[in-house]
Structure 1
């Protein structure tokens, strides 16, 4: 059956409130302790006719149509419920949620998050918003106000793609970033000993007080390189593939 972009737009708008949209979680481990400390929530769309829709396509449709606001709130509420469930079972983990810059155009976004944070009595640092690496420097006063409001209630921010291109100093100064993520393709392409260029990049992040997460860890060699680089955390298929439920302690 031929599906047009318009069909996907209509289908996504209808799917946001149902079971077609769901989250899968990929654990992050501390490279110091080896224990799970967090998990990244990834949005998935299982279309009834087309099967699994590529996440990049889904987010593109959502941003283009404005559905991203409803989708973002749906994902946030689901992730916060999961976070509460982890806490009830003694798992003191954080959840990392990908956020589109478009979501900050909604002036009530931070207020909604703050309300949920308070209602659920979440601990500072238990919710992390992951921002794309190509985020332009933020100079919108209203957006910055929301970012700092979220930081003040205990939400942390993570910047993806650290290492593809150095983020601009203006961006890092303007954002309340606590964490950066080293792309998996850089880790997987590296050979031992770990290249000085990547070690320097991790060192710069640490000098700025930022936590570093190595993504895309698929083999023990990749994990060894992440340790040599001085990364704080790691995630990838070696540790666990994304799944709807993390079933081990």
Structure 2
């Protein structure tokens, strides 16, 4: 594996080309069974090293500062994808993972607003997925950008809900519309852990939030998601992430 510096240089060069791309994993409504959204996952296929682990890629991007260019690239691609879905009659939403570092750039919200206007996206069709270990957001530029984006129709989802001690405390402070239960918790749900997850879902409901179950790999996992009262589900049972953007 090359040094971090070499990878940073390689990633900066790759952001503008075809080696960096999005794959999409659909989310289905547990009420209707229909696809209603898809999560966009960033991938980097290095010409010499092959597929770079996403965690490694994001870490390199955040430390090197290329996360801003990478985030804009992903956003622009997903906005164009949304427009393509709409043209084929698919009124789906797309969820895009966003690094807290991106909100340090005061121009980020303006860029998002420009892309929404350019493609005339409907409110709620673009969802930004935030980690559950966000740094303090009481006031300041980050929270201001979150609220500005929410006002123009961007929705916010918290990943890993229930897996971190800070999850519940963030709910009243962030303009969230959704939480995602991590697959590790859903797959292990049994007895006491199932009861604990029900409490997490209840708290999310008290804040008026949609609940998505991740990591659904078997029919048993799907039954757990239904029993918990989740709204949506995603995982390998439904479909693996795919570069194809037109789902049946």
Please, what TM-score do these two structures have when normalized by structure 1?
0.96
Contact 1:96–1:130, Cα closer than 8 Å, also in 2: yes
Shift of 1:144: 1.5
Q: 3-state DSSP class of the match of 2:9?
A: helix
Aligned partners of 1:137 and 1:170 also within 8 Å: no
Distance (Å, rounded) in 2 between the aligned partners of 1:84 and 1:14: 27
Q: CA deviation at 1:3?
A: 1.6
Number of the residue aligned with 1:210? 209
Map of 2:238 onto structure 1: 239
Tell me the SS of whatever aligns to 1:216.
Answer: coil
CA distance in 2, matches of 1:113, 1:247: 24
Shift of 1:145: 1.4
Match of 1:42 in 2: 41
Where do 5+ consecutive residues of structure 1 fail to align? none
**Between Structure 1 and Structure 2, how many residues are aligned?**
248
CA RMSD across the alignment = 1.5
Quote the residue 1:230 is aligned against. 229
Give 3-state SS (helix, strand or coil) of 2:77's partner. helix
In structure 1, C-alpha distance between the alignment counterparts of 2:139 and 2:172, rounded to whole Å: 14
**Aligned-residue offset at 1:139:** 2.5
Contact 1:136 1:171 in 2 (8 A): no
Taking the TM superposition and a 5 Å limit, the aligned residue runs for 1:1-249 are 3-167=2-166, 170-191=169-190, 195-249=194-248
Secondary structure of 1:13's partner?
helix
Distance in 2 separating the partners of 1:168 and 1:5: 31
Deviations 1:18-45 (A, max 9, x none): 0000000000000011000000000000
Report the Cα offset of residue 132 of structure 1.
0.5
Aligned to 1:177, the other structure's residue is in SS state coil
Q: Deviations over 1:22-81 (max 9, x none)?
A: 000000000011000000000000000000000000000000010000000000000001
Q: Secondary structure at the match of 1:243?
A: coil
Name stretches of at least 5 consecutive residues in structure 2 with no aligned partner. Answer: none
Distance 1:206 1:141 in 2: 27
- Contact 1:194–1:229 under 8 Å retained in 2: no
Asked if the contact 2:133/2:167 (under 8 Å) is kept, the reply is no
